[in-house]
A and B are shown apart, each in its own frame.
Chain A
Amino acid sequence: MMASARFLIPLGIFIAVAAFLFKGLSLDPKEVPSPLIGKAAPEFSLPLLNDFEAPFANGDMTGEVWLLNVFASWCGPCLDEHPIIVNFARSTAVPVVGFNYKDRPRAAKQWLNRHGDPYTQVVVDLNGRIGLDYGVYGVPETFLIDQQGIIRYKKIGPLTQMDVSQDIIPLIEELSQ
């Protein structure tokens, strides 16, 4: 009997994988880890992509409604999303802060040169430490943060024109009143 136990190994592995996949179904990666919405955005102070000496803290943005966009040059979907961000930055006065996630700064700079830089500032999270606080796991991700530093909106995965026009813009108008 023992000899044939090893033939059960593939089945065992498969059951384990299937269990995870089932769990995964209820963990929608596109939906928010909603706990963050309505909470204060985790504080950070990170170097700027253009100037490593000058830190940028999210506290600097108090009093403004702003968008935090997590991106990386190695991320294919970010490129899909990019025109939407560029468009957004061009058509609204809302500051868009780029959050360069686990990237090589040189590659990020090239990427921005190549595809256009819509960001008012780009902060660098080299090892993904701050990204962890923000629950970043699918790049790109986008956060809308209000005047008090509260996260009002979060999207995992590429923004679409629809997200911008149906969710983000109305929310900004509401917050700015």
Chain B
Amino acid sequence: MIPEVGHFAVILALCVALAQAFFSLVGATRGYVNWMAVSRPAAYLLFFLTTFGFCCLVISFLTNDFSVLNVASNSNSQLPWPYRLAASWGSHEGSLLLWVLMLSGWMAAVARFSKGVPNDMLSLILGVMALVAIGFYSFLLLTSNPFDRLLPPAMDGRDLNPLLQDPGMVIHPPMLYMGYVGFSVVFAFAIAALISGRLDTTWARWSRPWTTIAWAFLTIGIALGSWWAYYELGWGGWWFWDPVENASFMPWLCGTALMHSLLVTEKRGSFKVWTVLLAIITFSLSLLGTFLVRSGVLTSVHAFATDPERGVFILGFLVFVVGASLVLFAWRAPKVGLGGRFDLVSRESALLANNVLLVVAAASVLLGTLYPLFLDALGLGKISVGPPYFDAVFIPIMAPAMFLMGIGPISRWKKSSVPDLALKLKWAFVVSIVSSLLLPFTMGTWSLLVSFGLLMAVWIALAGIVNLWTRLKQMSRGEGRTFWNSVASLPNSYYGMLCAHWGVAVFIVGVTLVNGYEVEKDVKMSLGNTVTIGNYTIRLDALKDLEGPNYTGVEGSMAILVDGKEVDRMFPQKRLYTVQQMAMTEAAIDTGFTRDLYISLGEPLSDGSWVVRVYLKPYVDWIWGGAFLMALGGILAVSDRRYRKASQPENGTEGVTASS
């Protein structure tokens, strides 16, 4: 009964979305006030119905209703309940329901928090989002119904893929989807602006917080996915350039460009056409990501059970959404005037250059991801594109962007002078060169790549400090404020920018040092054997059998010795999940600020000993710490006062707070 009710709620939701799209869009373009009045309540109703439907699915999972196909294929009575909950979105069907739940959630949020947006504009925005929603609800109902029954019911379920039975995997998909789907908001803002012809600074101002929140979610989602891969796959890698990883990374790159471009559009009225195009591209890449995962055109670890029918549907939808928006763009954008002019050396130029670099980086990732497909389709042979391509292309593109990241925030709008910039940044420059040359020695050996990576990181960090310092000095000198008063009066969005940029620096440190100084050892160990890595000696003390709820396995007990004294014990496991007969490595990780000690059990050997892998990974956690700081920066920026009191539309009277 419950699944049918849920199914019905989702059908109703589709009907609501149809009505909402019709009344909102027609109402807004014709100016029927009472038609437009539908859009807000419809958004709430849509969210309510979808939440209701989603809860029905969750209940089916929690109560082990194996007469539901989705539950029978992805859950098991022995599965602990948090994973039964997560299994609700572990399958293709369930994750699609999660997707529409989030889309309706974003719509409700737009309806709730857009008080300053004129009614007709809001109707257009919600109408465009409703169109997107119609596509996904129909996709769900026509090709991937999560509520399908299985008759007769299964005795027990086939269990959730063991790889997904992990806390990181419970929250990774929702976060990622919040980001993906969140970009639909800024997309809808852009389309609404194109339709109404109101592509102005106010539009940029409304779009910015939504973009930033979606971006922050996406950042956290990607970071969680990478962290999960690190500790769950058992060999300590954290990024694989897998097509599906790329599919989440491309919208991130474009979303990053979009945030910065929106800033220029809001503050200076420039880049309007570029910004609106970026908004379209960013969401298009989110859709493309969905297509790549669901259609099976590329082989990937992540590919769900694929089905050509689904592929055709999503591709058709993709063509409709992206094609229509690009046609609209080609039709409307030429009429948009240019914004304020700017000099070659100015903050606009720096941001434009960074934008171009980010988009080129996204394009090169796209090219690498689709290249095998292109060649295959042209009959030019079959090739595979691996990490060597991406590393070779990505780093040189991003390096100048990192350099500009130091200069951009400190330069002036419109016109900046080179000598002035050089004066401000000379110490930062000198110190970062010297420290990047010397720092590698403290880690042992010197290498060019490490030195270069550190140069970027130190440069970004120092340029941020110089920026903050200059700003505070100006305020206390020019406006006679005290130091702490100046600190408090700088807007949150400014601190958000600094925090996110420092996040990038921290991230680079992590990547550089772990690539440069990682140590790994593979050894055969019997009881009592030791292996030494860095300062640590690891001794295998015991092996005991393990009995989990839905797995059996072996757990090693390792003593960690420093100078002969035991400082810690670690317990790596090898599990065999009984239902799917899948072996999983549960690495034991001792996380530290400057290094991770990572132990995983490999294969048992015939003489009772085990192959044990031990890694010492310096600064590896800085990778995710950096990503977290970036996301935190986004959240700080959104918490800025001006977004909370921004109920009255105003035009560019920003005064001193013109920042970040």
Contacts and interface: CB of A to CB of B under 8 A. Distances in A.
A77 to B, nearest CB: 5
Contact of A102 (B330, B372, B386): B386
Contact of A30 (B237, B299, B318, B377): B299
B583 A83 contact: yes
A132 B301 contact: no
B377 A20 contact: yes
A136 B384 contact: yes
A24, A83, A102 pick with most chain B CB within 10 angstroms: A24
Contacts of B301: 76-77, 80, 158
B386 A25 contact: no
Interface string B262-281: 00000000000100010011
A11 B330 contact: yes
Interface string B551-583: 000000000000000000000000000001111
A24 B386 contact: no
B299, B306, B580 pick with most chain A CB within 10 angstroms: B299
A74 B603 CA distance: 20
Interface stretch (A41-49, A113-121, A144-152, A166-174): A113-121
A14 B284 contact: yes
B240 interface: yes
A95 interface: no
Nearest to A24: B297
A15 B583 CA distance: 44
B370 A17 contact: yes
Contact of A15 (B296, B323, B370, B381): B323
Instruction: Say whether chain A's binding surface is mostly helix, strand, loop, or mixed.
Output: helix
A59 interface: no
B603 A115 contact: yes
A38 interface: no
A28 B296 CA distance: 7
A25 B311 contact: yes
Given A83-B582, A132-B382, A28 B308 contact: yes
Contacts of B580: 161
A21 to B, nearest CB: 6
B376 interface: yes
A156 B300 CA distance: 11
B501 interface: no
B608 to A, nearest CB: 15
B323 A11 contact: yes
Interface residues of A, number: 49
A33 to B, nearest CB: 8
Nearest to B583: A83
A3, A11, A21, A72 pick with most chain B CB within 10 angstroms: A21
A101 B383 CA distance: 11
Given A17-B370, A74-B386, A79 B602 contact: no
B332 to A, nearest CB: 9
B333 A7 contact: yes
A86 B611 CA distance: 14
A106 interface: no
Nearest to B277: A10
Interface residues on B, range: 35 or more
Interface of A: 3-4, 7-8, 10-11, 14-15, 17-18, 20-30, 33, 72, 74-77, 79-80, 83, 86, 101-102, 110, 113-116, 128, 132, 135-139, 156-158, 161
Contacts of B602: 114-116
Contacts of A10: 277, 280-281, 326, 329-330
B107 to A, nearest CB: 25
A18 B376 contact: no
B610 to A, nearest CB: 11
A79 B235 contact: yes
A50 B308 CA distance: 43
A21 B603 contact: no
Contact of A14 (B240, B322, B388, B581): B322
B26 interface: no
A116 B329 contact: no
B603 A29 contact: no
Given A20-B377, A132-B381, 18 more contacts: A7-B329, A10-B326, A11-B329, A11-B330, A15-B323, A21-B291, A21-B373, A25-B312, A28-B308, A74-B387, A77-B300, A113-B522, A114-B613, A128-B384, A137-B384, A139-B384, A157-B299, A158-B301
B384 A18 contact: no
A18 B330 contact: no
Nearest to A115: B602
Nearest to A139: B384
A80 B291 CA distance: 23
Interface string B212-250: 000000000000000000000101010010100000000
Contact of B384 (A20, A79, A113, A138): A138
10 contacts: A4-B334, A10-B281, A21-B318, A24-B295, A79-B235, A83-B582, A115-B602, A135-B382, A138-B299, A161-B581
